[in-house]
A = this chain, B = another copy of it.
Amino acid sequence: MTDDRSALQVALAYHRAWTSKDLDAAMQHVADDVVCLAPAGRLEGAAALRDFMGPFSQSLVGSRVLAAFGDEQNALVYYDTETVPVPSAPAAEHLTVRDGRIVHLRIVFDRAPFDAARLAAARSTA
């Protein structure tokens, strides 16, 4: 089966799926051997990406795409997220798509407010 969707269509379908907390649907857009460069480091393979995105997806209240562009192989998506611990956490992704699947994914977001929320939660239960 060929998949002639543009990289941007795949990127936005992936975004819609995980922000709807549907990780099964999200992973259908991801290659088994995906490489993801995230703030905490390099993730190799779809299972590692799913383990990373799953908890974040579950803590999500909502997400809004602020801008998105792409060409045949690459897409850039800039979005805001509202999560339980952090009310506004913007992020950007640079995705590379081959045969309709995400093969490379860079994610950038600010870990500082998540670290601060975790510290505050630990203190309040100490």
Interface size on A, residues (CB 8 A): 22
Question: Which residue of chain B has its CB nearest to the CB of A109?
Answer: B108
A67-B74, A67-B76 given; A39·B112 CB < 8 A: yes
Please name the residue on chain B nearest to A39 by beta carbon: B110
A111 located at the interface, meaning its Cβ lies under 8 Å from any Cβ of chain B in the complex:
yes
Does the CB pair B78–A108 fall under 8 Å?
yes
Indicate how many identical chains form the complex: 2
Could you tell me the distance between the alpha carbons of A98 and B110 in the complex, rounded to whole angstroms?
A: 28
Asked if A21 is at the interface of the complex by the 8 Å CB criterion, the answer is no
Q: Does A115 touch B at the CB level, under 8 Å? A: yes
Residues of B near A108 (CB, < 8 A) are 78, 90-92, 108-110
